[in-house]
Structure 1
């Protein structure tokens, strides 16, 4: 009886003693492949050779006794079982990272890496204003930067791939916490030969009848601009949808229509000129709220709050 019981738990003991073919490294390889859908890109992301990554994933499949990946020429997809295991693998890796982070935070909570994601209509304009301050005031904190549209940013945040996101509020807050950082006015960008370019301030009703240029679907700024203009007779130019604010700027300069730009995207080198004029709204000025969002379960709260303080102070000056 004792011998049979021992034989039953022997595989578990071997796992606990480190003899198991499955480990965190293999799960990271699996998640990297699921994200990139490409063995070469997954290997590059994991800092190993492609044969090494492929061999380790094959060992993982053999250990589990199931196929996780469908290997086809120039195409990689997950099996039904692989798709079910993927969120569990992400959760295990997230928790393991939290353990490491928690241990490090006991020594210095304002040190180590902090993975920060930003939406494209904020990142390029906010970072030049705060990057130097962050390095100076939080010298031991290495901020890793990522850029995604809002929905993908929230998915990355919940999956543990980033630790904090800066985006336009509000957003769905299930399992998340947020903090307002600053309020940002909207301005109007018009061709420099447009009649509105001569006005000191533009009323919302002045935009009635104008052709509005917007970002493509997925950008929250698109929805915000539509929300601002929903009370007036303004028509969207559906033949042109930009992928970035800089493309929008060029489209306006080419005379294809007008657009709304957040204030940070109109300062310094991003202001009037090059065929367009940027005009302020008359009061009440439409605005958006920019804030930070993070998981309630994160162990990096102190570092996140310290970073938020730097950004909030910089934007208040």
Structure 2
């Protein structure tokens, strides 16, 4: 049994196709098939059911793939240990970022990070939280930036910052005249939301559900971008909530529609999340310190109330 054979098994398990898997690991399809067959013969089991389309893992194959991921991760750790011993910060680093964070946070730190760590080759993907978790577990991402707490087994969370929710209320709405907004005054059915799949939407629902019953059937206006929600609100179709960093780039005319919540200000927790194997920790720490340094000057709120993106999580206060 070899590490190379395990890499081939993981590739086929991912793509469910020998040809695509061979392309992924840069070998010919006959070579990949032969090596997997040799492994199956050595173990005297069948890892893949080749009679099904697409190819499926057998029951024992599922257990082998799970263990293969652990073994491959541990083998990668050897190089990681050497890199850390040498103080080397470089190589390919695959980072996932959720859509509601990508456009505002990335421009704030990416240039500084690349200048400071020129040997790191970042590969960044914009992904929803569900896809990020799946890719982290499968080893296709080294780390991600997402809203937390998630508390998922096998995934570690390193808090970067707390980002307040900011009400965007056009002058046509009654709450526009208020200097500050109470959470209790929000009606979830009058708030324009992002479409399903965005954890920021889930956080807003959690924020408001104690005050008004959420009736999804009433929400006819949902969008994939904050820009669209702002335009809809400007047309008098409702209010919305924005993450604080997004409000910094609004037009002056739009900033007049921004309000703040009374203390404690509801906020989302934004973290670097990564696999418990803690590979490439020197790069993860470099990212953490770079992001923390640039955000520290942008977000100065102290008394915030963290709203979880998960329905079953309780919010808590951070002073």
1:186-234 Cα offsets, whole Å, 9 max, x none, are 1234678656567665443443374344445554323311121123226
> 2: CA distance between counterparts of 1:39 and 1:277?
58
Q: What is the deviation of 1:89? A: 0.8
Partner of 1:88: 67
Equivalent runs, 1:154-173 vs 2, <5 Å: 154-172=133-151
Calculate the aligned-residue CA RMSD, in Å: 3.6
Larger radius of gyration between Structure 1 and Structure 2 = 1
Residue 149 (1) aligns with residue 132 (2):
no
Q: Secondary structure at the match of 1:145?
A: strand
Partner of 2:305: none
Contact 1:177 1:296 in 2 (8 A): yes
Q: For residue 167 of structure 1, give the secondary structure of its aligned residue in structure 2.
A: strand
Q: Quote the residue 2:244 is aligned against.
A: 263
Give the direction of change, closer, same or farther, for the CA distance of 1:81–1:185 in structure 2 (3 Å limit). same
Aligned positions, number: 294
> Which residue of structure 1 aligns with residue 209 of structure 2?
230
**8 A Cα contact 1:251 1:257, kept in partner:** no
Give 5+ residue unaligned stretches, structure 2.
298-319
**Corresponding residue for residue 280 of structure 2:** 300
CA spacing shift, 1:237–1:59, aligned 2, 3 Å: same
Matched, 1:79 2:58: yes
CA separation of 1:294 and 1:271: change in aligned 2, threshold 3 A: farther
Q: Secondary structure at the match of 2:50?
A: strand
1:36 aligns with 2:15: yes
Q: Find out whether 1:309 has 2:286 as its counterpart.
A: no
- Return the offset for 1:160: 4.0
Report if the CA contact (8 A) 2:89-2:120 is conserved: yes
Supply the distance in 2 between the matched residues of 1:30 and 1:98 (Cα, whole angstroms): 19
Once residues 308 and 30 of structure 1 are traced to their aligned partners in structure 2, the CA distance between those partners, rounded to angstroms, is: 33
CA offsets per residue over residues 233-282 of structure 1, 9 Å max, x none? Answer: 26443465857435963894687654433223344279987xx9963333
1:206-217 aligned within 5 A: 206-208=185-187, 210-215=189-194
Long gaps (5+) in structure 1: 1-21
Note the C-alpha offset of 1:308. 0.8
TM (norm. structure 1) is: 0.75
**Worse-superposed segment, 203-212 or 97-106:** 203-212
Q: Could you give the per-residue CA deviations for residues 282-304 of structure 1, whole angstroms, max 9, x where no partner exists?
A: 32332112122334542533332
Alpha-carbon spacing, 1:111–1:144, altered in 2? closer, same or farther (3 Å): same
The question of whether the paired residues in 2 share the 8 Å contact of 1:212 and 1:237 is answered with no
Q: Are 1:61 and 2:40 an aligned pair? A: yes
Instruction: Give the deviation of 1:102 after TM superposition.
Output: 1.5
Secondary structure, counterpart of 1:171 in structure 2: coil
- Aligned residue for 1:162, secondary structure, equals coil
| Change beyond 3 A, Cα 1:174–1:79 | closer
Equivalents in 1 of 2:8, 2:36: separation in Å?
7
Q: Does 1:249 align with 2:229?
A: yes
